[in-house]
Structure 1
Amino acid sequence: MLATARRPRLLFPVPLRFFSVASSTADQTVSYLISTCGLSPAAAARAAASVRVASPGSTSNADAVLALFRRYGFTEADITNTVRKFPVVLASDPDKTLQPKLDFLASIGVTTPLFGRLVSLNPIILHRSIEAHLVPLFDSLREVLGSDSNIVTALRQTPFILRCLPKATLRAIATLRDVHGISPSEVSKLIALKPGVILQCPDRVNEIVQVVENAGVEAGNPMFVHMFAILSKMKAPTLENKFAVFRSFGFNKDDVNVMLRRYPGSMAVSEEKIKKTVRFLTGKAGLSREDIVRYPNMLVRSLDSHCRRCAVLAVLRREGKPVAKHRVPVALKVSKARFEEMHVLRHYQEVPDVSRAIHGEIPFEGF
């Protein structure tokens, strides 16, 4: 039978005042994080385990860190988010550890308010080595983006680029350039549209290129970059689910590919919106699948807009104004200004109800 484990005896008993001092320090730290850094009580309690800003009662270092952030234009929200995500920053040396990183970013062209946003989203960069991490990373970004101003633009759109390992920034671009033959000018356009492409792994790049090519768009086609940028926002299962929704309404593979070529944004809408819009267009509005394939940008317009436009067209038909059936999809795909010019402003004096219809006061019940 196993022997009962004995509780170990302490050779040097810990005085109770040790625990009271430790508890007092933790309480002071939590209070400081709440009152000075804006953390919630729960977040402050979690952060207090990583930093003791009040031990032994002094907050001078943490105060200096916060003062440094404010000098670089950090908002109070930026400071709160930075400390919440990376509380040990308050124990960092503001002069030797933190300011050199901020100065480096400033030398690239980062200014307020981007400073605070970048650091609050990527606070770990304050503890990265300038020589071993930041310099190689920005050298890689320059190779891809061409200039510091382009880097800053990319960071503004995709701040998480700062989390990349230096060599990782080149993998996606090398795959596009060397494997798929995308020209440097096309790569530049793609990054301008979607800076986050830098973060894609080669396998993901290959996956997106395959979808674009399956749709009949090859590298060099002006639509290639635009289509790649939109598809890169969707994971493969999401895209396949959208294809399945279209198939459920009778669209075949060629139909979907044609819509993708004509208007890539048609794949950016949610599955639920696709279902509701197709049901409306082929139901109440009386359009055919061919109409949707011909004008896929109808899929991105809101149902409310479609209903109001159809109500206007229904009023015009009721009043004997010629609105041919083949004109309905054209009327639904044009810009708001163009629609109102053609169907509201042209008729509202003779048919005042068109004004009420375009403002949603007359419901659309079908043609």
Structure 2
Amino acid sequence: MLAVARRRLLLFPVPLRFFSVASTTAEQTVSYLVSTCGLSPAEAARAAASVRVASPGSTGNADAVLALFRRYGFTEADITNTVRMFPIVLASDPDKTLQPKLDFLASVGVTTPLFGRLVSISPIILHRRIEAHLVPLFDSLREILGSDSNIVTVLRKIPFILRYPHKDILLSVATLRDVHGISPSELSKLIALKPGVVLQCPDRINEIVQVIENVGVEPGNPMFVYMFAILSRMKAPTLENKFAVFRSFGFDKDDVNVMLRRYPGSMAVSEEKIKKTVAFLIGKAGLSREEIVRYPNTLALSLDSHCRRCAVFAVLRREGKPVAKHRLPSALHVSKAQFEEMYVLRHHQDVPDVSRAFRGEIPFEGF
């Protein structure tokens, strides 16, 4: 075959003009993509392999596509991102291929500036069939979320959901609802907290539910939804590493389970922060493991906040104020406003150092 092809080339040589024209067209395309679509020269060179925009005077289709996007409120950044990810869109028919998809999104309540964001993140939807993809996808979301306004709210949080087949979303919901018995109200709360749950595969959902049940929380428990939303952000190895950190400080399995049940956010902090916070609370602030288990939200507060509050307590104890006999663990977990009211504002007149300590001007060295 190769020999035959070579003979044909010898018999019918390709004019050098062909290569010159092709090279010129590619250069013109790169120039158009840079000057009109905002791509960098390197991005434009890559995109030019997918689309050809010829010399001035024959860029009508691409110009019409860009004009259509602007009519729907696309920003220049939206246009650049869309063309960068999906350059062939410039060769699409703006009236027959693109506008029907944009009109469909408008019909379900998508407006500017969400239009441009949705398309720039998932431009492939512009080449998906409405009846085969968008209609069943929105029907599925409508069944789960109840209304188009709720769908739009979810789209703002996870715009890439438009890429997913509706069958995958229904399978995820069915796993939660039918396999694990999540009630419709719980499902609605869960999706509001963590919209991405509708994109979790069944195996991942089963894994998260198993961890929650091992902690002692079942569907129907008010904490189930919040625990699922938090644990869904972490893979099993990450969660196990955090458990290992707690064990290194002497916490046992029941301690960790109690902290999770009381405050699921205690597992949302990084391993490094858990190490530093627990070391501070036990080593410098003098808390016991039992007190940390009782107030697990102290793990989510910043070390700076703990240092300042402990410094305030140190000043009050130095001055012999009765309020300093209050239990420190309870003082560390209240809101900033509550702490300031109870321990700073009430004493700043006769003990000015409490204000300085609260501002971080007096370092805490430990009790």
Partner of 2:33: 33
Does structure 2 conserve the Cα–Cα contact (< 8 Å) formed by 1:25 and 1:57? Answer: no
Partner of 1:54: 54
Identity of aligned residues (%): 86
Whole-Å Cα distance in 1 between the matches of residues 284 and 54 of structure 2?
A: 68
Does structure 2 conserve the Cα–Cα contact (< 8 Å) formed by 1:177 and 1:183? Answer: yes
Partner of 1:244: 244
Does 2:300 align with 1:264? no
* CA shift in 2, pair 1:54/1:337, >3 Å: same
Gaps of 5+ in 2: none
Partner of 1:221: 221
Partner of 2:77: 77
Name whichever of 122-131 and 278-287 sits farther off. Answer: 278-287
Whole-Å Cα distance in 2 between the matches of residues 317 and 56 of structure 1?
A: 80
- Per-residue CA deviations over 1:203-245 (Å, capped at 9, x if unaligned) read 1111111111111111111111111111111111111111111
Deviation at 1:45, TM superposition (A): 1.0
Partner of 1:178: 178
Whole-Å Cα distance in 2 between the matches of residues 55 and 206 of structure 1?
A: 56
Gaps of 5+ in 1: none
Instruction: Give the residue type in structure 2 aligned to 1:102.
Output: L
Partner of 2:308: 308
* CA shift in 2, pair 1:6/1:316, >3 Å: farther
* CA shift in 2, pair 1:6/1:127, >3 Å: closer
- Per-residue CA deviations over 1:34-75 (Å, capped at 9, x if unaligned) read 111111111111111111122586211111111111111111
Partner of 1:194: 194
Does structure 2 conserve the Cα–Cα contact (< 8 Å) formed by 1:25 and 1:56? Answer: no
Partner of 2:144: 144
Does 2:142 align with 1:106? no
User: Equivalent of 1:8, from 6, 9, 12?
Assistant: 6
Deviation at 1:8, TM superposition (A): 3.4
Partner of 1:162: 162
Whole-Å Cα distance in 1 between the matches of residues 178 and 4 of structure 2?
A: 67
Partner of 1:90: 90
Name whichever of 50-59 and 327-336 sits farther off. Answer: 50-59
Deviation at 1:129, TM superposition (A): 0.1
- Per-residue CA deviations over 1:123-179 (Å, capped at 9, x if unaligned) read 000000001111111111111111111111111111121111111111111111111
Deviation at 1:331, TM superposition (A): 1.1
Question: 3-state SS of the aligned residue for 1:19?
Answer: helix
Does 2:366 align with 1:366? yes
Instruction: Give the residue type in structure 2 aligned to 1:264.
Output: P
Deviation at 1:259, TM superposition (A): 0.6
Whole-Å Cα distance in 2 between the matches of residues 38 and 112 of structure 1?
A: 21
Whole-Å Cα distance in 2 between the matches of residues 109 and 301 of structure 1?
A: 39
Does structure 1 conserve the Cα–Cα contact (< 8 Å) formed by 2:316 and 2:324? Answer: no
Mapping 1:333-352, distance limit 5 Å: 333-352=333-352
Q: CA RMSD in A?
A: 1.6
Question: 3-state SS of the aligned residue for 1:198?
Answer: helix
- How many residue pairs get aligned? The number is 363
Partner of 1:123: 123
Whole-Å Cα distance in 1 between the matches of residues 127 and 120 of structure 2?
A: 13
Whole-Å Cα distance in 2 between the matches of residues 325 and 234 of structure 1?
A: 39
Question: 3-state SS of the aligned residue for 1:312?
Answer: helix
Does structure 2 conserve the Cα–Cα contact (< 8 Å) formed by 1:307 and 1:364? Answer: yes
Does structure 1 conserve the Cα–Cα contact (< 8 Å) formed by 2:313 and 2:324? Answer: no
Does structure 1 conserve the Cα–Cα contact (< 8 Å) formed by 2:323 and 2:343? Answer: no
Deviation at 1:29, TM superposition (A): 0.9
Whole-Å Cα distance in 1 between the matches of residues 275 and 116 of structure 2?
A: 41
Deviation at 1:6, TM superposition (A): 11
Does structure 1 conserve the Cα–Cα contact (< 8 Å) formed by 2:25 and 2:54? Answer: yes
Question: 3-state SS of the aligned residue for 1:363?
Answer: coil
Instruction: Give the residue type in structure 2 aligned to 1:180.
Output: H
Question: 3-state SS of the aligned residue for 1:350?
Answer: coil
Does structure 1 conserve the Cα–Cα contact (< 8 Å) formed by 2:83 and 2:89? Answer: yes
User: If the length of structure 2 is used for normalisation, what is the TM-score?
Assistant: 0.96
Whole-Å Cα distance in 1 between the matches of residues 358 and 365 of structure 2?
A: 14
* CA shift in 2, pair 1:138/1:227, >3 Å: same
Does structure 2 conserve the Cα–Cα contact (< 8 Å) formed by 1:65 and 1:94? Answer: yes
User: If the length of structure 1 is used for normalisation, what is the TM-score?
Assistant: 0.96
